[in-house]
Structure 1
Amino acid sequence: MLTSTQPSSNILGTSPRLSLTAIPSPRIEKRLSHTPAVSPLPLKHRLPLQSWDSHMHVVEPQRFPVSKSAVYQPAVHTLDDALAFESTIGVENLVFVQPSIYGTDNSCLLAALVKLGPSRGRGVVVVDPDNIQTETLDEWHALGVRGLRVNLQSVGKVMEKSELEKTLRRHADIARPRNWVIELYLPLKMVPMLESIAPSLGVTLCIDHFGSPELSSLPKGSDSNPFDPYQLPGFRSVISLIQAGNTYIKVSAPYRLTGDQTQHQLKAMAHEFLTAAPDRVIYATDWPHTRFTGIDISPFTEWCLDLCEEVPGLAEKLFRRNTERMLSVSSN
């Protein structure tokens, strides 16, 4: 495996916390509570060179019809549209992730990956482990596919532990010989089940979108009374998994979880991830923000940069190096 089985070093200057009560380090808590100064440089000039958007989608329903069981009908979002968007924030490299609307038909994703090329692109596909050929998987690997996605959240599916373990083992048998990652989109309340399953899978895992917490019923927090993410069922398990060294967490798609009024909660979560395992946290936009309209991802990207500001090298990890390590990308 590319990733270490030892916990990541804590470069943020605070010891990892697994207690129910989090006490943010003063240095990083300052980043949570203050209003960032407006930089004279556009966002696209401040991201690290060769940054990655580790989770985005290309959707072309006219060329590649969506599944009959799709839970929504998407608009057209081509690779050219994606590249135009990414250029506005300074991202050069893309990870195409299979959306639920295409089921196990990865044709749209693969076409975009072929067009972009493996020097700038990687792919995470969805498969039926019982109906996929080895030759097909090897062809996809040559194109830049480096992961399998298990998506429960988009279709509202909740599994018992035995079913989740069976599902992950079937996918791990495909991922393991190719050194692929398994990306999981599931509710945070299901993550504790992974603590006993993950160590025996022999593969790298990645949890999507902050772990998909349910934030609406909890106090939002404020500058004087910070939000404690350890209140969230399953949060402590995410911390344990990313510290163990073979699981990553994506800070991505904040709009799917909360509005601007609860942004403080997500900042507190991101702070804890970066404190506990700075080598296991990756940034993503979730473009084109399916089922949402009028999304501006720039403020989220700004505060991700702001959280990294006082720690040398942390932005390089969050926006580039961690993704490259997870997806076996050669880098200078």
Structure 2
Amino acid sequence: MRPIFFLVRASSWSQYWTRSYTTRKVPIRELLLAKIPQKSWDSHMHVVDPTQYPLAEGAQYTPEPHLLSDALTFESTLGIQKIVLVQPSIYGNDNSCMLDALRRIGPQNGRAVVAFDPKSINKLTLDVWHRIGVRGVRVNLQSVGQEMDPAELAASLQQYADIIRPYGWVLQLYVPLKTATVLETIVPKLGVKVCLDHFGSPTLSGRLAYPNSDDLYSLPGFTSLVNLMSQGSTYLKMSAPYRLSPDAGHLDLEPMAKELLRVAPNRIVFATDWPHTRFEGLDIKPFVESMVEWCGEDNTLIERVFKYNAEDLWSVSNEK
């Protein structure tokens, strides 16, 4: 049987998206990738180039270069056409590497989430960033092991929210899931969209620790997470399962994923966390296939998770 070729057209990215599939001997799980809709989004990935863009003092690790060209080649293997570049902790508040990549692809093909000091940021910088496609700021406590008491956290998040609110940006948080119990009272007062990284960053107690949805609600912070997502302004990225569990089959995350998809189907976005820093070389395709499987046979849900929820979160729908 002759191979079938697909060409996805997308301005300057088309060189990355010519793909070939054969209709013979294709594993069933691989066919799941074909269900990913056109113009889907990877809502969390990074570009890093320590040789050209020096890391911040005290960076927790030094990765190999992972350039925009590498990122686009990777995304083409999944059929993803739109990306959200996220500032990694190793660059601190110097967003140069990421913003240069964003300028190359343009806001029609991507968004970016920056890091900045709310005490020193200025309106001119924010205006420039907004024009090139920045749509969020990241507060990352998890990667650097930082903790804040509830009052300190509330004051900090309010300060960020006041700055980004006029732009309609997202307040992206990488914090432990247990923090959701505090966020439940803080987030409704912020007046901005909030997005939690990496399944909300739960602490799992071994493989199959939470075999069904009822058990999940004993997980510290999970009930508050569900409450937040049900309120409408809080989103969650299903991403980076390897940072939460060594189970390559994602069986311990499956109950959580399915429960969150059930209670908040309009607030879940897909992301790869490429290039999987400190886990380089990892094959993310099995996770992507699991994501499609967790949506069941609901093609509408697949479209929401991979495309439409991201368009809502990153204000793409408002700018078409």
TM-score, normalised by the number of residues in structure 2:
0.88
2:288 counterpart of 1:301 = yes
Identify which of 142, 148, 151 aligns with 1:162: 151
Q: Distance in 1 between matches of 2:290 and 2:29?
A: 16
Instruction: Classify the secondary structure of the residue corresponding to 2:97.
Output: helix
Please tell me whether the aligned partners of residues 42 and 82 of structure 2 are also in contact (alpha carbons under 8 angstroms): yes
Aligned residue number for residue 131 of structure 2 = 142
Q: Distance in 1 between matches of 2:86 and 2:134?
A: 10
Alignment of 1:1-332 (within 5 A): 38-39=27-28, 42=31, 44-216=33-205, 220=209, 228-260=215-247, 263-330=250-317
Q: Per-residue CA shift, 1:180-227, capped at 9, x if unaligned?
A: 0000000011111011111111101000001111103585355xx778
Aligned residue number for residue 3 of structure 2 = none
What amino acid sits opposite 1:277 in the alignment?
A
TM-score, normalised by the number of residues in structure 1:
0.85
Aligned residue pairs total 294
Aligned residue number for residue 23 of structure 2 = none
Gap regions ≥5 residues in structure 2: 1-25
What amino acid sits opposite 1:322 in the alignment?
N
* CA-CA distance at 1:309 after TM superposition: 2.9
Q: Per-residue CA shift, 1:262-317, capped at 9, x if unaligned?
A: 72221111111110010000100000001113311101100110111322400000
Gap regions ≥5 residues in structure 1: 1-36
Distance 1:272 1:44, change over 3 A: closer
RMSD: 1.9
* CA-CA distance at 1:68 after TM superposition: 1.0
Q: Which has the higher contact order (CA 8 A, sep 6+)?
A: 1
Please tell me whether the aligned partners of residues 221 and 264 of structure 1 are also in contact (alpha carbons under 8 angstroms): no
Instruction: Classify the secondary structure of the residue corresponding to 1:84.
Output: helix
Instruction: Classify the secondary structure of the residue corresponding to 1:45.
Output: helix
Aligned residue number for residue 19 of structure 2 = none
What amino acid sits opposite 2:277 in the alignment?
T
What amino acid sits opposite 1:148 in the alignment?
V
* CA-CA distance at 1:133 after TM superposition: 1.1
Distance 1:79 1:213, change over 3 A: same
Q: Per-residue CA shift, 1:209-267, capped at 9, x if unaligned?
A: 01111103585355xx7783222100111100000000001110000000126722211
Distance 1:40 1:189, change over 3 A: closer
Q: Distance in 2 between matches of 1:226 and 1:170?
A: 36
